[in-house]
Structure 1
Protein backbone atom coordinates (compact mmCIF):
# COMPACT_ATOMS: atom_id res chain seq x y z
CA UNK A 1 0.00 0.00 0.00
CA UNK A 2 1.40 3.39 -1.04
CA UNK A 3 1.67 6.01 1.71
CA UNK A 4 0.49 9.10 -0.19
CA UNK A 5 1.18 11.45 2.74
CA UNK A 6 4.94 10.86 2.43
CA UNK A 7 5.04 11.84 -1.24
CA UNK A 8 5.84 15.28 -2.63
CA UNK A 9 3.05 17.33 -4.22
CA UNK A 10 4.13 16.36 -7.75
CA UNK A 11 4.38 12.69 -6.81
CA UNK A 12 0.92 12.84 -5.26
CA UNK A 13 -0.42 14.47 -8.42
CA UNK A 14 1.12 11.77 -10.62
CA UNK A 15 -0.24 9.07 -8.32
CA UNK A 16 -3.72 10.62 -8.33
CA UNK A 17 -3.74 10.90 -12.13
CA UNK A 18 -2.59 7.32 -12.43
CA UNK A 19 -5.40 6.12 -10.19
CA UNK A 20 -8.12 8.45 -11.50
CA UNK A 21 -7.05 9.28 -15.06
CA UNK A 22 -10.27 8.07 -16.65
CA UNK A 23 -12.37 10.10 -14.22
CA UNK A 24 -10.32 13.27 -14.82
CA UNK A 25 -10.60 12.79 -18.59
CA UNK A 26 -14.39 12.33 -18.42
CA UNK A 27 -14.75 15.50 -16.36
CA UNK A 28 -12.41 17.33 -18.75
CA UNK A 29 -14.66 16.43 -21.70
CA UNK A 30 -17.81 17.35 -19.77
CA UNK A 31 -16.29 20.70 -18.77
CA UNK A 32 -15.22 21.45 -22.34
CA UNK A 33 -18.59 20.51 -23.86
CA UNK A 34 -20.53 22.68 -21.38
CA UNK A 35 -18.28 25.63 -22.27
CA UNK A 36 -18.53 24.99 -26.01
CA UNK A 37 -22.32 24.62 -26.00
CA UNK A 38 -22.78 27.93 -24.21
CA UNK A 39 -20.44 29.80 -26.57
CA UNK A 40 -21.93 28.20 -29.70
CA UNK A 41 -25.46 29.15 -28.65
CA UNK A 42 -24.27 32.68 -27.87
CA UNK A 43 -22.67 32.87 -31.34
CA UNK A 44 -25.86 31.68 -33.02
CA UNK A 45 -27.83 34.42 -31.25
CA UNK A 46 -25.21 37.17 -30.87
CA UNK A 47 -23.75 37.30 -34.40
CA UNK A 48 -27.07 37.91 -36.23
CA UNK A 49 -28.07 40.49 -33.60
CA UNK A 50 -24.68 42.17 -34.03
CA UNK A 51 -25.24 42.47 -37.78
CA UNK A 52 -28.72 43.84 -37.18
CA UNK A 53 -27.42 46.42 -34.68
CA UNK A 54 -24.74 47.51 -37.16
CA UNK A 55 -27.58 48.57 -39.47
CA UNK A 56 -29.67 50.06 -36.65
CA UNK A 57 -27.00 51.96 -34.72
CA UNK A 58 -29.55 53.79 -32.56
CA UNK A 59 -30.45 50.49 -30.89
CA UNK A 60 -26.84 49.44 -30.37
CA UNK A 61 -26.26 51.37 -27.15
CA UNK A 62 -29.36 49.86 -25.55
CA UNK A 63 -28.56 46.28 -26.59
CA UNK A 64 -24.87 46.43 -25.67
CA UNK A 65 -25.77 48.21 -22.44
CA UNK A 66 -28.14 45.38 -21.51
CA UNK A 67 -25.39 42.83 -22.24
CA UNK A 68 -23.03 44.90 -20.06
CA UNK A 69 -25.49 44.74 -17.17
CA UNK A 70 -25.55 40.94 -17.41
CA UNK A 71 -21.74 40.94 -17.34
CA UNK A 72 -21.68 42.83 -14.04
CA UNK A 73 -23.68 40.13 -12.21
CA UNK A 74 -21.32 37.76 -10.34
CA UNK A 75 -21.27 34.33 -11.96
CA UNK A 76 -22.23 32.51 -8.76
CA UNK A 77 -25.21 34.84 -8.32
CA UNK A 78 -26.21 34.26 -11.94
CA UNK A 79 -26.09 30.50 -11.40
CA UNK A 80 -28.28 30.86 -8.32
CA UNK A 81 -30.84 33.00 -10.17
CA UNK A 82 -31.05 30.66 -13.16
CA UNK A 83 -31.20 27.62 -10.88
CA UNK A 84 -34.58 28.86 -9.58
CA UNK A 85 -36.07 28.41 -13.04
CA UNK A 86 -33.92 25.69 -14.64
CA UNK A 87 -33.01 23.62 -11.61
CA UNK A 88 -29.60 22.11 -10.95
CA UNK A 89 -27.35 20.52 -13.54
CA UNK A 90 -25.46 21.27 -16.73
CA UNK A 91 -28.32 23.10 -18.47
CA UNK A 92 -28.14 25.94 -15.97
CA UNK A 93 -24.38 26.30 -16.47
CA UNK A 94 -24.79 26.28 -20.27
CA UNK A 95 -27.33 29.10 -19.94
CA UNK A 96 -24.97 31.03 -17.66
CA UNK A 97 -22.12 30.65 -20.16
CA UNK A 98 -24.50 31.71 -22.92
CA UNK A 99 -25.42 34.94 -21.12
CA UNK A 100 -21.82 35.84 -20.27
CA UNK A 101 -20.66 35.06 -23.83
CA UNK A 102 -23.22 37.36 -25.45
CA UNK A 103 -21.40 40.62 -24.69
CA UNK A 104 -17.99 39.93 -26.32
CA UNK A 105 -19.58 38.23 -29.33
CA UNK A 106 -22.27 40.86 -29.79
CA UNK A 107 -19.89 43.78 -29.26
CA UNK A 108 -17.19 42.44 -31.59
CA UNK A 109 -19.69 41.57 -34.30
CA UNK A 110 -21.15 45.07 -34.15
CA UNK A 111 -17.69 46.69 -34.20
CA UNK A 112 -16.45 44.46 -37.01
CA UNK A 113 -19.40 45.14 -39.29
CA UNK A 114 -19.42 48.88 -38.54
CA UNK A 115 -15.74 49.11 -39.48
CA UNK A 116 -16.21 47.61 -42.94
CA UNK A 117 -15.18 50.17 -45.58
CA UNK A 118 -18.37 51.76 -46.94
CA UNK A 119 -16.75 52.21 -50.36
CA UNK A 120 -16.65 48.41 -50.67
CA UNK A 121 -20.35 48.23 -49.87
CA UNK A 122 -21.09 50.96 -52.42
CA UNK A 123 -19.06 49.07 -55.01
CA UNK A 124 -21.05 45.92 -54.24
CA UNK A 125 -24.32 47.78 -54.60
CA UNK A 126 -23.09 49.18 -57.92
CA UNK A 127 -22.47 45.63 -59.10
CA UNK A 128 -26.09 44.79 -58.30
CA UNK A 129 -25.47 42.75 -55.15
CA UNK A 130 -28.45 42.18 -52.89
CA UNK A 131 -28.45 42.96 -49.15
CA UNK A 132 -27.87 39.28 -48.38
CA UNK A 133 -25.00 39.06 -50.89
CA UNK A 134 -23.35 42.13 -49.35
CA UNK A 135 -23.64 40.54 -45.92
CA UNK A 136 -22.35 37.12 -46.97
CA UNK A 137 -19.67 38.11 -49.49
CA UNK A 138 -18.44 41.48 -48.19
CA UNK A 139 -19.31 42.24 -44.56
CA UNK A 140 -18.92 38.77 -43.04
CA UNK A 141 -15.47 37.98 -44.54
CA UNK A 142 -14.10 41.41 -43.58
CA UNK A 143 -15.56 41.33 -40.05
CA UNK A 144 -14.84 37.66 -39.39
CA UNK A 145 -11.46 38.14 -37.70
CA UNK A 146 -12.98 40.66 -35.25
CA UNK A 147 -15.92 38.32 -34.60
CA UNK A 148 -13.48 35.45 -33.97
CA UNK A 149 -11.66 37.61 -31.41
CA UNK A 150 -14.95 37.98 -29.52
CA UNK A 151 -15.60 34.23 -29.63
CA UNK A 152 -12.04 33.62 -28.46
CA UNK A 153 -12.52 35.86 -25.44
CA UNK A 154 -15.93 34.35 -24.69
CA UNK A 155 -14.62 30.76 -24.69
CA UNK A 156 -11.74 31.47 -22.32
CA UNK A 157 -14.12 33.19 -19.89
CA UNK A 158 -16.63 30.34 -20.31
CA UNK A 159 -14.08 27.73 -19.24
CA UNK A 160 -13.56 29.61 -15.99
CA UNK A 161 -17.28 30.05 -15.37
CA UNK A 162 -17.98 26.35 -16.00
CA UNK A 163 -15.65 25.44 -13.14
CA UNK A 164 -18.10 26.84 -10.57
CA UNK A 165 -20.90 24.72 -12.06
CA UNK A 166 -19.87 22.06 -9.56
CA UNK A 167 -21.86 23.93 -6.89
CA UNK A 168 -25.11 23.06 -8.67
CA UNK A 169 -24.19 19.51 -9.67
CA UNK A 170 -23.12 20.20 -13.26
CA UNK A 171 -19.90 18.21 -13.03
CA UNK A 172 -16.72 19.15 -14.86
CA UNK A 173 -13.26 19.84 -13.52
CA UNK A 174 -14.75 21.99 -10.78
CA UNK A 175 -15.81 18.73 -9.08
CA UNK A 176 -12.19 17.68 -8.77
CA UNK A 177 -11.11 21.07 -7.45
CA UNK A 178 -13.90 20.99 -4.85
CA UNK A 179 -12.87 17.50 -3.74
CA UNK A 180 -9.34 18.77 -3.23
CA UNK A 181 -10.54 21.75 -1.20
CA UNK A 182 -12.60 19.47 1.06
CA UNK A 183 -9.82 16.88 1.48
CA UNK A 184 -7.44 17.03 4.44
CA UNK A 185 -4.35 17.02 2.20
CA UNK A 186 -5.91 17.81 -1.14
CA UNK A 187 -3.30 20.00 -2.80
CA UNK A 188 -2.55 17.41 -5.45
CA UNK A 189 -6.26 16.89 -6.13
CA UNK A 190 -6.73 20.64 -6.59
CA UNK A 191 -3.85 20.61 -9.09
CA UNK A 192 -5.48 17.66 -10.89
CA UNK A 193 -8.47 19.92 -11.53
CA UNK A 194 -6.79 23.29 -12.07
CA UNK A 195 -4.00 22.18 -14.43
CA UNK A 196 -6.37 20.61 -17.01
CA UNK A 197 -8.63 23.69 -16.70
CA UNK A 198 -5.73 26.03 -17.41
CA UNK A 199 -4.51 23.74 -20.20
CA UNK A 200 -7.97 23.78 -21.78
CA UNK A 201 -8.14 27.58 -21.68
CA UNK A 202 -4.62 28.01 -23.13
CA UNK A 203 -5.10 25.49 -25.96
CA UNK A 204 -8.53 26.92 -26.82
CA UNK A 205 -7.11 30.44 -26.91
CA UNK A 206 -4.15 29.40 -29.08
CA UNK A 207 -6.35 27.46 -31.49
CA UNK A 208 -8.88 30.27 -31.89
CA UNK A 209 -6.01 32.77 -32.20
CA UNK A 210 -4.60 30.70 -35.06
CA UNK A 211 -8.06 30.46 -36.63
CA UNK A 212 -8.53 34.21 -36.23
CA UNK A 213 -5.35 34.85 -38.22
CA UNK A 214 -6.40 32.37 -40.90
CA UNK A 215 -9.71 34.15 -41.53
CA UNK A 216 -8.18 37.65 -41.46
CA UNK A 217 -8.33 38.97 -45.06
CA UNK A 218 -5.22 41.13 -44.52
CA UNK A 219 -3.16 38.00 -43.90
CA UNK A 220 -4.37 36.48 -47.16
CA UNK A 221 -3.29 39.50 -49.19
CA UNK A 222 0.23 39.28 -47.71
CA UNK A 223 0.63 35.87 -49.24
Structure 2
Protein backbone atom coordinates (compact mmCIF):
# COMPACT_ATOMS: atom_id res chain seq x y z
CA UNK A 1 0.00 0.00 0.00
CA UNK A 2 1.34 3.43 -0.94
CA UNK A 3 2.41 5.86 1.77
CA UNK A 4 1.36 9.47 1.71
CA UNK A 5 4.00 12.17 1.31
CA UNK A 6 3.86 15.16 3.67
CA UNK A 7 5.80 17.32 1.19
CA UNK A 8 3.09 17.20 -1.48
CA UNK A 9 1.14 20.33 -2.38
CA UNK A 10 -2.65 20.28 -1.85
CA UNK A 11 -3.15 19.89 -5.60
CA UNK A 12 -0.78 16.93 -5.68
CA UNK A 13 -2.53 15.33 -2.70
CA UNK A 14 -5.88 15.63 -4.47
CA UNK A 15 -4.43 14.05 -7.60
CA UNK A 16 -2.92 11.19 -5.58
CA UNK A 17 -6.21 10.65 -3.75
CA UNK A 18 -8.17 10.35 -6.98
CA UNK A 19 -5.53 8.07 -8.50
CA UNK A 20 -5.71 5.77 -5.47
CA UNK A 21 -9.52 5.65 -5.68
CA UNK A 22 -9.36 4.90 -9.40
CA UNK A 23 -7.21 1.87 -8.55
CA UNK A 24 -9.64 0.76 -5.86
CA UNK A 25 -7.13 1.57 -3.11
CA UNK A 26 -9.65 3.43 -0.96
CA UNK A 27 -7.61 3.09 2.23
CA UNK A 28 -4.73 5.07 0.74
CA UNK A 29 -7.14 7.57 -0.80
CA UNK A 30 -8.69 8.09 2.63
CA UNK A 31 -5.22 8.89 4.05
CA UNK A 32 -4.73 11.59 1.44
CA UNK A 33 -8.09 13.16 2.25
CA UNK A 34 -7.18 12.97 5.95
CA UNK A 35 -4.07 15.03 5.19
CA UNK A 36 -6.16 17.64 3.41
CA UNK A 37 -8.66 17.79 6.26
CA UNK A 38 -5.82 18.62 8.63
CA UNK A 39 -5.10 21.65 6.45
CA UNK A 40 -8.66 22.52 5.38
CA UNK A 41 -11.10 21.26 8.01
CA UNK A 42 -13.84 23.60 6.75
CA UNK A 43 -13.72 22.40 3.13
CA UNK A 44 -17.00 20.54 2.36
CA UNK A 45 -15.67 18.88 -0.81
CA UNK A 46 -12.85 17.21 1.13
CA UNK A 47 -15.31 15.78 3.66
CA UNK A 48 -17.53 14.50 0.84
CA UNK A 49 -14.62 12.93 -1.02
CA UNK A 50 -13.40 11.21 2.12
CA UNK A 51 -16.93 9.88 2.53
CA UNK A 52 -16.67 8.34 -0.93
CA UNK A 53 -13.52 6.46 0.05
CA UNK A 54 -15.24 5.12 3.15
CA UNK A 55 -18.14 3.83 1.08
CA UNK A 56 -15.54 2.01 -1.02
CA UNK A 57 -14.41 0.28 2.18
CA UNK A 58 -17.99 -0.49 3.33
CA UNK A 59 -17.55 1.91 6.26
CA UNK A 60 -21.06 3.23 5.74
CA UNK A 61 -21.72 4.86 9.11
CA UNK A 62 -18.44 6.77 8.87
CA UNK A 63 -19.29 7.81 5.32
CA UNK A 64 -22.67 9.13 6.48
CA UNK A 65 -20.88 11.20 9.12
CA UNK A 66 -18.55 12.68 6.51
CA UNK A 67 -21.37 13.54 4.12
CA UNK A 68 -23.33 15.08 6.98
CA UNK A 69 -20.35 17.27 7.88
CA UNK A 70 -20.07 18.34 4.26
CA UNK A 71 -23.77 19.25 4.23
CA UNK A 72 -23.38 21.16 7.49
CA UNK A 73 -20.58 23.23 5.92
CA UNK A 74 -22.31 23.73 2.54
CA UNK A 75 -26.06 23.04 2.80
CA UNK A 76 -26.73 24.44 -0.67
CA UNK A 77 -24.39 22.02 -2.46
CA UNK A 78 -26.26 19.01 -3.91
CA UNK A 79 -23.54 16.36 -4.28
CA UNK A 80 -23.36 15.34 -0.63
CA UNK A 81 -27.13 14.85 -0.47
CA UNK A 82 -26.89 12.49 -3.45
CA UNK A 83 -23.96 10.60 -1.94
CA UNK A 84 -25.51 10.37 1.51
CA UNK A 85 -28.81 9.26 0.02
CA UNK A 86 -27.12 6.50 -1.98
CA UNK A 87 -25.28 5.30 1.12
CA UNK A 88 -28.47 5.32 3.17
CA UNK A 89 -30.04 3.17 0.46
CA UNK A 90 -27.27 0.60 0.76
CA UNK A 91 -28.01 0.50 4.49
CA UNK A 92 -31.73 -0.04 3.83
CA UNK A 93 -32.65 3.34 5.32
CA UNK A 94 -34.94 4.22 2.44
CA UNK A 95 -37.06 6.90 4.12
CA UNK A 96 -33.95 8.86 5.05
CA UNK A 97 -32.58 8.43 1.54
CA UNK A 98 -35.80 9.81 0.05
CA UNK A 99 -35.55 12.82 2.36
CA UNK A 100 -32.05 13.54 1.01
CA UNK A 101 -33.20 13.19 -2.60
CA UNK A 102 -36.17 15.46 -1.93
CA UNK A 103 -33.84 18.11 -0.53
CA UNK A 104 -31.50 17.71 -3.50
CA UNK A 105 -34.41 18.17 -5.91
CA UNK A 106 -35.42 21.33 -4.09
CA UNK A 107 -31.91 22.62 -4.81
CA UNK A 108 -31.82 21.31 -8.37
CA UNK A 109 -35.16 20.18 -9.85
CA UNK A 110 -33.37 19.10 -13.05
CA UNK A 111 -31.14 16.47 -11.43
CA UNK A 112 -32.11 13.28 -13.27
CA UNK A 113 -29.86 11.18 -11.04
CA UNK A 114 -31.80 12.29 -7.98
CA UNK A 115 -35.08 11.21 -9.59
CA UNK A 116 -33.62 7.82 -10.50
CA UNK A 117 -32.17 7.33 -7.03
CA UNK A 118 -35.39 8.40 -5.35
CA UNK A 119 -37.10 5.78 -7.49
CA UNK A 120 -34.65 3.20 -6.16
CA UNK A 121 -35.45 4.16 -2.57
CA UNK A 122 -39.19 4.14 -3.26
CA UNK A 123 -38.80 0.68 -4.80
CA UNK A 124 -37.03 -0.39 -1.62
CA UNK A 125 -40.19 0.56 0.26
CA UNK A 126 -42.44 -1.17 -2.27
CA UNK A 127 -43.83 2.14 -3.55
CA UNK A 128 -43.85 0.91 -7.13
CA UNK A 129 -46.09 3.54 -8.70
CA UNK A 130 -44.03 6.37 -7.20
CA UNK A 131 -40.83 4.65 -8.36
CA UNK A 132 -42.26 4.20 -11.85
CA UNK A 133 -43.05 7.91 -12.07
CA UNK A 134 -39.57 8.94 -10.91
CA UNK A 135 -37.78 6.55 -13.29
CA UNK A 136 -39.91 7.80 -16.16
CA UNK A 137 -39.15 11.41 -15.27
CA UNK A 138 -35.40 10.71 -15.10
CA UNK A 139 -35.44 8.92 -18.47
CA UNK A 140 -37.41 11.76 -20.08
CA UNK A 141 -34.97 14.34 -18.74
CA UNK A 142 -31.90 12.47 -20.04
CA UNK A 143 -32.83 10.20 -22.98
CA UNK A 144 -29.50 8.32 -22.81
CA UNK A 145 -29.84 7.58 -19.09
CA UNK A 146 -29.77 3.83 -19.60
CA UNK A 147 -30.12 2.89 -15.94
CA UNK A 148 -33.20 5.04 -15.49
CA UNK A 149 -34.69 3.34 -18.55
CA UNK A 150 -33.91 -0.19 -17.35
CA UNK A 151 -35.29 0.65 -13.90
CA UNK A 152 -38.44 1.94 -15.57
CA UNK A 153 -38.79 -1.25 -17.61
CA UNK A 154 -38.23 -3.50 -14.59
CA UNK A 155 -40.84 -1.58 -12.61
CA UNK A 156 -43.32 -1.78 -15.47
CA UNK A 157 -43.01 -5.54 -15.17
CA UNK A 158 -43.43 -5.36 -11.40
CA UNK A 159 -46.67 -3.40 -11.82
CA UNK A 160 -48.11 -5.95 -14.25
CA UNK A 161 -47.47 -4.00 -17.47
CA UNK A 162 -45.74 -6.93 -19.09
CA UNK A 163 -46.02 -6.02 -22.76
CA UNK A 164 -44.87 -2.44 -22.18
CA UNK A 165 -41.98 -3.77 -20.12
CA UNK A 166 -41.06 -6.15 -22.94
CA UNK A 167 -41.21 -3.36 -25.50
CA UNK A 168 -38.92 -1.17 -23.40
CA UNK A 169 -36.47 -4.01 -22.80
CA UNK A 170 -36.26 -4.80 -26.51
CA UNK A 171 -35.58 -1.14 -27.25
CA UNK A 172 -32.84 -1.02 -24.63
CA UNK A 173 -31.11 -4.13 -25.95
CA UNK A 174 -31.36 -2.79 -29.49
CA UNK A 175 -29.76 0.51 -28.45
CA UNK A 176 -27.27 -0.93 -25.94
CA UNK A 177 -26.48 -4.50 -27.08
CA UNK A 178 -23.81 -4.93 -24.38
CA UNK A 179 -26.08 -3.82 -21.53
CA UNK A 180 -26.15 -7.02 -19.46
CA UNK A 181 -28.90 -5.86 -17.11
CA UNK A 182 -31.32 -5.26 -19.96
CA UNK A 183 -30.44 -8.54 -21.71
CA UNK A 184 -30.86 -10.54 -18.50
CA UNK A 185 -34.26 -8.99 -17.86
CA UNK A 186 -35.27 -9.53 -21.48
CA UNK A 187 -34.27 -13.19 -21.28
CA UNK A 188 -36.36 -13.67 -18.14
CA UNK A 189 -39.44 -11.96 -19.58
CA UNK A 190 -39.17 -13.80 -22.89
CA UNK A 191 -38.95 -17.12 -21.02
CA UNK A 192 -42.10 -16.27 -19.10
CA UNK A 193 -43.78 -15.41 -22.39
CA UNK A 194 -42.87 -18.80 -23.83
CA UNK A 195 -40.33 -17.38 -26.33
CA UNK A 196 -37.68 -19.76 -25.12
CA UNK A 197 -35.29 -19.80 -28.04
CA UNK A 198 -34.94 -16.02 -28.03
CA UNK A 199 -34.63 -16.06 -24.24
CA UNK A 200 -31.76 -18.53 -24.33
CA UNK A 201 -30.04 -16.59 -27.12
CA UNK A 202 -30.10 -13.42 -25.02
CA UNK A 203 -28.87 -15.35 -22.00
CA UNK A 204 -25.77 -16.53 -23.85
CA UNK A 205 -24.90 -12.86 -24.36
CA UNK A 206 -25.57 -12.06 -20.69
CA UNK A 207 -23.10 -14.69 -19.46
CA UNK A 208 -20.46 -13.33 -21.80
CA UNK A 209 -21.03 -9.82 -20.47
CA UNK A 210 -21.60 -10.30 -16.73
CA UNK A 211 -21.89 -13.71 -15.05
CA UNK A 212 -23.24 -12.20 -11.79
CA UNK A 213 -26.75 -12.55 -13.19
CA UNK A 214 -26.49 -16.29 -12.54
CA UNK A 215 -26.50 -15.44 -8.81
CA UNK A 216 -30.10 -14.77 -7.81
CA UNK A 217 -29.01 -13.47 -4.40
CA UNK A 218 -26.83 -10.83 -6.05
CA UNK A 219 -29.68 -9.79 -8.33
CA UNK A 220 -32.00 -9.54 -5.31
CA UNK A 221 -29.81 -7.84 -2.73
CA UNK A 222 -27.13 -5.94 -4.66
CA UNK A 223 -28.70 -5.10 -8.02
CA UNK A 224 -32.09 -4.99 -6.28
CA UNK A 225 -34.41 -6.01 -9.06
CA UNK A 226 -38.14 -5.86 -8.20
CA UNK A 227 -39.55 -9.12 -6.79
CA UNK A 228 -41.57 -10.02 -9.89
CA UNK A 229 -38.47 -9.69 -12.08
CA UNK A 230 -36.39 -11.71 -9.62
CA UNK A 231 -39.04 -14.43 -9.72
CA UNK A 232 -39.03 -14.45 -13.53
CA UNK A 233 -35.24 -14.74 -13.64
CA UNK A 234 -35.27 -17.46 -10.99
CA UNK A 235 -37.74 -19.48 -13.09
CA UNK A 236 -35.53 -19.07 -16.12
CA UNK A 237 -32.39 -20.09 -14.21
CA UNK A 238 -34.14 -23.22 -13.00
CA UNK A 239 -35.83 -23.77 -16.39
CA UNK A 240 -39.30 -23.92 -14.93
**TM-score, normalising length: structure 1:** 0.24
Structure with higher RCO (Cα < 8 A, 6+ apart) = 1
- Structure number, greater radius of gyration: 1
